[in-house]
Amino acid sequence: MSLDRAALQKSVNDLYQREHDELGEAGTHRMLDEARRWDLSDTLAGGGVVGFAHVGVADCGLHVAAAVNACLDTDADTVLAISVLHAFSDEMKTARKDVAAGGSPSHHATWGIQGPDLDFRDDWRGDHAMRSLRHFWAAETKRRGITDRRLVERYPYLAGGKPGELPNIDEVARIAENAVIVTTGDQFHHGIGYGTPPDEALEPEPDGLAAAGASIEDGFTLIEQGDYWGYNQHCVVAKSDDRDVVQLFRYLRGPLRGTLLDIAYTDSTELYNQPSPTWAAGGFMKFDKVG
């Protein structure tokens, strides 16, 4: 499938803006209140990690809101948000494929950790993955009158099984020492628009989400083992976009045990102008410290 990556990036960002605008303040507060069904502050306070998807806000907004609530319910004054960095350029896509095939990450200019206030690349500025977190964060800190909490976004790229070698890793490690960590990732991209053969393409419900959940659980085993390269290659098969995110937070936090709390998915047929089924799913999950 020939893909105009720049046009897709604009379409995705425009879609997120419309969804947030349509939600409005009342809808945003309603989601934040409904998300109280989950309390994950103990996971964060104990050095664990909370992860959520970045599919459509109507589908995963409750999970993002629950992560924001959990962050603000802890005593931490800093939240480290580790995000997917999508390959919206040919340069990034080529590098991703090369590393997945065993190439050295250091051979690519995109290798490293990006984010605000870092003297490095700014591909992160056009990415959509953190837009919903920013939206719910701004709404809830305003509603609670909180002005002394810091949200720090970091975007790893090309961990390649060696997250400890990523440029800017020392800066992120220092932040992580006194921060709680949340992350975003969509671990299962499936269907015709994502290159799945038509005779193997599953509708999301019920079989597709069952396959997505099983894939996410398989990833948990690799995470717990600290098998960075194994997880990288697991993501290639699952068409997961969180390969760098997971390697980074596992490196920062050490042994973790994952629990899948829920799955959100969004139909992507219109976005990609492709036949159904074409959809993406991401887990709402927690990773508790082991030992």
Instruction: Encode pLDDT of 218-246 as tens digits.
Output: 999 999 999 999 999 999 999 999 999 99
Q: Structure tokens of 2? A: 């020939």
Q: How many domains does the chain have?
A: 1
pTM metric for this prediction = 0.96
Q: At 83, which amino acid appears?
A: S
Residues 241, 12: Cα–Cα separation, whole Å: 15
Residues 228, 258: Cα–Cα separation, whole Å: 15
Mean pLDDT, residues 187-212: 96
pLDDT at 273 over 90: no
Beta strands in the chain (DSSP E): 49-52, 78-82, 112-114, 150-157, 180-184, 188-191, 256-267, 278-289
User: Residues 212, 281: contact at Cβ < 8 Å?
Assistant: yes
The predicted structure's pLDDT at residue 1? 46
The mean pLDDT value of the chain amounts to: 96
- Other beta carbons within 10 angstroms of residue 146's beta carbon come to 11
Model confidence over 47-80: pLDDT tens digits?
999 999 999 999 999 999 999 999 999 999 999 9
Mean pLDDT, residues 123-138: 97
Domain residues for the domain of 122 are 5-289
Distance of CA 104 to the CA centre of its chain: 24
Model confidence over 103-119: pLDDT tens digits?
999 999 999 999 999 99
Q: Would you call 62 helix, strand, or coil by DSSP?
A: helix
The predicted structure's pLDDT at residue 271? 85
Quick one: pLDDT band at residue 2, thresholds 50, 70, 90?
Answer: low
pLDDT at 5 over 90: no
From first CA to last CA, the distance across the chain in angstroms is 46
The predicted structure's pLDDT at residue 287? 98
User: Residues 202, 212: contact at Cβ < 8 Å?
Assistant: no
Residue percentage of the chain with pLDDT more than 90 = 93
Q: Which residues, in sequence order, are CB contacts of 188 under 8 Å at separation 6+?
A: 211, 212, 215, 216, 238, 239, 240, 280, 281, 282
pLDDT at 3 over 80: no
Task: Look up the CATH number of the domain holding residue 137.
Answer: 3.40.830
User: Residues 220, 242: contact at Cβ < 8 Å?
Assistant: no
Nearest to 35 by CA among 199, 264, 273, 224: 264
User: Residues 208, 190: contact at Cβ < 8 Å?
Assistant: yes
